[in-house]
Structure 1
Amino acid sequence: MVRAVRGAITVDRNEKEDILDAAKELVQEAINKNDITPDDIISIIFTITPDLTKAFPAAGVRQLGITSVPLLDLAQPNVEGALEKCIRLIMHINSDKQNSGLHHVYLRGARVLRPDLLEDTYIAVAIDGPAGAGKSTVSKAAAKDLGFVYIDTGAMYRAAALFALEHDMDPVYDIDGLVSILDEMSIKISYDRRGQRVFLNGEDVSDQIRTNDVTKAASAVAKIPEVRARLVKLQRDMAERGNVIMDGRDICSTVLPNAQVKIFLTASVASRAKRRYKELMEKGMDTTLETVKLDIMARDKNDSEREVSPLKKADDAILLDTSDMTFDEVVECVKGMIKKVI
């Protein structure tokens, strides 16, 4: 009987070697998972996203020695918000198996296309480190490339800080008052084409939580055990729903102690201040480099000395100092660590 095996895989770069290697990996995995030989293959149809232009996936199949099977490469439509750098496959085979017995193959970042086919155990990546080390931007880029869900836990504490400020409460001195109204605080995370969106009591506050006032208050809020307990539970629940890259302070040591990949991302105070200052300038915020530097030094002190979950490198976390690295170099390094466990 003629059956069809489906699959997909993402490609790291739009380079000939990367495209051919991905195509070979996808086809070989489909063969292995379904216990077939090249003689059982009737035809293979590939579709590729418009951003892959350096090679035809079919050429990789020929490198496997599969020379007598008809192959076809087709272009996927350019759909807004679709998975990037992706090769999809339909392999027609001769098989006595029922459709329910076939194993469809979704690899690397393409796993998100068929979450129903994922195993029960998801990959959790925890990225910890001091303020301004680039945790969020690096995590976001790596997650996008690998098809993981990115979770910015710091945004949750910023939302809690905004909640306190909106109720005219100082998170340093009005702790009891803030704790007494925590049941009125609802923080939710959702995702759209713009990325992660943070909602506080139903209102999108993704932009409001990035002000300097909220940033300063967030460190104080993070010291409150009742706030931390509430948000840690939310973070752990999210990590159980799929492959995630979660960044924030104490993620490795407290929130996801069993994460398969743990990275402590750091950089010198000077490097972090320059990066943060540039980010604030691009957002049109009024500040100075010296002010940003002093803020980062103060946050380092607060985060490392707080009684509840102080900032520290987990014993089993990989230390990655990015002071002298470009952004792209850091992202590629992090992706390389993750790929070792995928």
Structure 2
Amino acid sequence: MIKKEIKSLTGIRGIAAIYVAVFHFYLHYTQSNSNNFLSKNSYLHSLLYHGYLGVDLFFILSAFVITLTSSKYFEDKFEFKDYKNFMIKRWIRIYPTYAIILIVTFFYSGQTHRVGNFLLSFSLLNSLFGLPYLVGHFWSLSTEWVTYMTYPILYRLFSAARLLKWQLLILIGILILYSTCVLYYKEYAIQPFSFVINGGYYGLFRCFGDYFLGVFAFKIFSHYPKSKEIAGITSIVIIFILICLLSFAKADLLIVILFVALILSLTNDNNVVSKLMSTKPIYILGLISYPLYLIHAILLYYLDYLKTLLSIFYGYNNFYLILMLLFLALSVIFSYIFTFFIEKPIISFCNKKIHRVG
């Protein structure tokens, strides 16, 4: 019997959220002070700058977990009742938290003049129409919401056509990601094979490609049980290779493919990395990962105030590591409070209402 929750996957989600937060801090840090020791070291710069790939790990994990819990409803049939229940569960999971943080961001980030964009953002359909976001990293919420809308339909169509073959899934995923990179590179002149793609139709295709890889990972997991044992043995090697690749440019596509191997390795409860990701502190980090992903950006708006305060004690050139740790600590604390005192009670309330109506 397949478990509904794999704790190590929840844990790695928390690590991905921290990695994205570090990336956003680093961008803010290098923009405000380009003469710093982090950006001078090319390997360290690449490692920190690749934090945007944490979003791809989010997408692949989401596809894996959603397929784990919901594919049975769309494998052999498609009924509107199942589709409605799927979308309601997804709405309860992401929308209340998103709406609250969207409102807070609007009033506390100095963007109250963007009323039209603020109201549009409530629809979560910005990516479908190629429209801007109130806050940059909200693009991933919009693209994933659109992907939720299409996932059951595509899954059923692929299943009916007998196209849910692991070879085809990984091929489609890679082709979508590769094509998106090439087209985005031509239009915006970024590094080829770089996944710094956030928003509009390109962001949507990035999410679609990652979802195909996530479904591929599930198919390997469910149909080839020994694969997780093999991957489990090599989990430390996978982590080592990922860290090495993250330290170099132009390896994004390979890194994202290796995320699949990482996820498969973490489904094995007996390996060292899986046990580490399942420890209570990292598991809790995974539980608060969604609010953490949203909340940390609000704190970035107040980073300059923290910088000024710390400079009184440490001088302007010696406190960035302390500033980053303080930023991460505050992000985790606020996210923890939000998760257990706001998000979970709201989700519980919504689920009770749905059950009563049902």
TM-score over 0.5 for the pair: no
Considering fraction of residues, name the structure with more strand: 1
Considering fraction of residues, name the structure with more helix: 2
> TM-score w.r.t. structure 1 length?
0.22
Higher CA-based Rg: 1
> TM-score w.r.t. structure 2 length?
0.22
